[in-house]
Amino acid sequence: MKYYTFVLVLLQVLVSCNDVDEEYADFEISFEQPINFPTPTYDFEDNPITTDGFVLGRKLFYDNRLSLDNGINCSECHNQSHAFTHHGHDLSEGVHPGVFGTRNSQPIQNMAFMNDFTWDGAKDKLWDQPLIPITEEVEMNETMENVVAKLQEDSEYQQLFSTVFKLEDAINSVNLLKALSQFMGVMVSSNSRYDKYVRGEEGGVFTDLEKEGLALFQQKCATCHSGELFTNQEFINNGIGENTSLPDETGRARISSSNPFATVEELKASDDYYKFRVPSLRNVKNTYPYMHDGRLVLLSKVLDFYDDDTYPLMTKMNNLDSRLIQTNEDGTETLGISMTEDEKVAILAFLETLTDDEFINDERFANPN
Ligand code: HEC
Ligand code: HEC
């Protein structure tokens, strides 16, 4: 009798594993650390990455039930072909057509290496971040309570959550967020031509122009867009200037203020006013439009923005980063970075080598449905 029960349980386990395997995962997932990358910040102890957890996270990422009236899912604003940004939108449109947020959607890539999340660092834990899009009115406008209730009605989710979190009734908001985080944690972009070039791998060939662009980039841009993530992860005012159509935008100042009720006028006095997290430039060719509000559509325009010749595109606030201010012999100041037109062409050519087609076409990250 005992033997039969054992065989039955074993069979059930095999069958249920097979279900998952057949439908979603014909692969094994583990976190792969690229040799040229820094130590991850992802908390592997608190939320270990497993194949089933990844599969569950991916299912959630592409599930409209995470939004009001089951209207949209995460990929609406984080589209794989654009390195998981919102194609064609400067500001992101959420579940209500015509209602826009105040920021440009960020790429979801290399999240396992970041210290803070979103443009202003509103969250410092990856698993905690999706709370914002799920509940924000301008994004998915749903409550965690409703999402959990919707998922609890689904037997497939019941099974997947139990498998991943090894307990019955495992569908709750924390586990939902943790599964999303396992999925996003694995989304590492590290196989661009640039990576192959620095790692000396096959296909890692640079033209002379791209080599020149890399050298110029290191000289002129890499103090902020530094290291293999192409960001020093600091909050910096790069002279982008206020967007008059978004009067409530204050950048990092809102987050670092000790007063949650501070007015915009008060936050203007903060040293963090209009500071944003230095964005990674990986896959930058595909993540247009650019800057926190998506105000620049072309990469060439971003270079014009930085070019000291095209000043006054740059706005001088008190906290403009000193690396973007040159003091001339006569004591006057020039804002921006000195670049010739030829140098801009070389930098652009280099930036395009950061495109990682393997990542953008990786079927493991695509919608499984
Ligand atoms: C309506 C569009 C929209 C939807 C839907 C959306 N996001 Fe986002 N996402 C954004 C925008 C805009 C930002 C930048 C937010 C900011 O800086 O305030 C962002 C930022 C992020 C970040 C931070 C990236 C970084 O580099 O720090 C993560 C992670 C993220 N979203 C995950 C998700 C997940 C998971 C979902 C689904 C549950 C989701 N998003 C749904 C628009 C969206
Ligand atoms: C002093 C620090 C600093 C330097 C130097 C710097 N940047 Fe930036 N860069 C930033 C910050 C901060 C932002 C985000 C500003 C915002 O969103 O409003 C940014 C944004 C960008 C973006 C937009 C990316 C996106 O996803 O929206 C690109 C492209 C870029 N920089 C390229 C460059 C290049 C090329 C150089 C050198 C010519 C350079 N940067 C020099 C700090 C810097």
State pLDDT tens for residues 290-314. Answer: 999 999 999 999 999 999 987 678 9
Q: Which residue CA neighbors atom 3 of ligand 2 most closely?
A: 224
What is the b/e burial string over 147-170, where b = at least 16 CB atoms within 10 angstroms of the residue's CB? beebbeeeeebbebbbbbbeeeeb
User: Among all ligands shown, which has an atom nearest to the Cα of 131?
Assistant: 1
**pLDDT digits over 10-23, tens only?**
444 444 444 444 45
Rounded to the nearest angstrom, the distance between the alpha carbon of 302 and the centre of ligand 2 is 8
Question: How many other CB atoms are found less than 10 A from the CB of residue 228?
Answer: 18
Rounded to the nearest angstrom, the distance between the alpha carbon of 306 and the centre of ligand 2 is 8
Rounded to the nearest angstrom, the distance between the alpha carbon of 303 and the centre of ligand 1 is 26
User: Among all ligands shown, which has an atom nearest to the Cα of 255?
Assistant: 1
Give the distance from CA 41 to its chain's centroid.
Answer: 14
Give the distance from CA 195 to its chain's centroid.
Answer: 19
Nearest Cα residue to 254 out of 280, 292, 306? 292
Rounded to the nearest angstrom, the distance between the alpha carbon of 335 and the centre of ligand 1 is 32
Pocket of ligand 2 (CB under 6 A): 220-221, 223-225, 236, 238, 240, 276, 278-279, 281, 284, 287, 290-292, 302-303, 306, 321, 323-324, 337, 347
Q: Which residue CA neighbors atom 32 of ligand 1 most closely?
A: 130
Rounded to the nearest angstrom, the distance between the alpha carbon of 301 and the centre of ligand 2 is 12
Q: Is the minimum distance from the CB of 336 to ligand 1 under 6 angstroms?
A: no
Q: Is the peptide bond before 48 cis (omega within 30 degrees of 0)?
A: no
Taking a C-beta distance cutoff of 8 angstroms, is the pair 65, 150 a contact? yes
Residues 6+ apart with CB under 8 A from 324: 238, 239, 306, 314, 335, 336, 337
Q: Is the minimum distance from the CB of 112 to ligand 1 under 6 angstroms?
A: no
Low-confidence ranges of the chain (pLDDT < 50): 1-22
Q: Is the minimum distance from the CB of 180 to ligand 1 under 6 angstroms?
A: yes
User: Among all ligands shown, which has an atom nearest to the Cα of 296?
Assistant: 2
Give the model's pLDDT for residue 311: 67
> Count of residues for the chain?
369
Nearest Cα residue to 80 out of 97, 49, 113, 58? 58
Give the model's pLDDT for residue 19: 45
Closest ligand 2 atom to 104 CA: 27
| Burial class of 316 by CB neighbour count within 10 A (0 to 12, 13 to 18, 19+) | middle
**Half-sphere CA count of 368, side-chain side, radius 13 A:** 20
Give the model's pLDDT for residue 18: 43
Give the model's pLDDT for residue 158: 97
Q: How far apart, in whole angstroms, are the C-alpha atoms of residue 238 and residue 227? A: 18
User: Among all ligands shown, which has an atom nearest to the Cα of 119?
Assistant: 1
From 86, 102, 221, the mutation candidate for ligand 2 (largest count of ligand atoms within 8 A of CB) is 221
Rounded to the nearest angstrom, the distance between the alpha carbon of 158 and the centre of ligand 1 is 26
Taking a C-beta distance cutoff of 8 angstroms, is the pair 42, 17 a contact? no
Q: How far apart, in whole angstroms, are the C-alpha atoms of residue 317 and residue 17? A: 58
